[in-house]
Amino acid sequence: MTTVWLVDRQFDSKGLVRLTYATEDGERMHTKELAEQRLVTGDGVTAGREVEESALGESPADEVERFASEASKMAAEHDLDDVV
């Protein structure tokens, strides 16, 4: 399992939320989509997650630096299961 940290969340017009988690070096990412309603009725969005290596993809080259910065900040300020 690999630890990834929340680096981006995007809302679309169809009521979906795309959460992007990345490794602290920003090189690898994991994306999860969920219904916006789950943000209200569910357990919330956690600062980090443990994911299988096979669930990780390469981060876009133009996002690696930003993802690394955001992931490092989340890791320093939050526990993995903190709701953010």
- For 9-49, the pLDDT digits (tens) are 998 888 889 999 999 999 999 999 888 777 667 677 889 99
The answer to which of 12-21, 53-62, 66-75 has the lowest mean pLDDT is: 12-21
pTM: predicted TM-score of the whole model, two decimal places: 0.90
Burial of 66 (0-12, 13-18, 19+ CB in 10 A): middle
Average pLDDT, the chain: 91
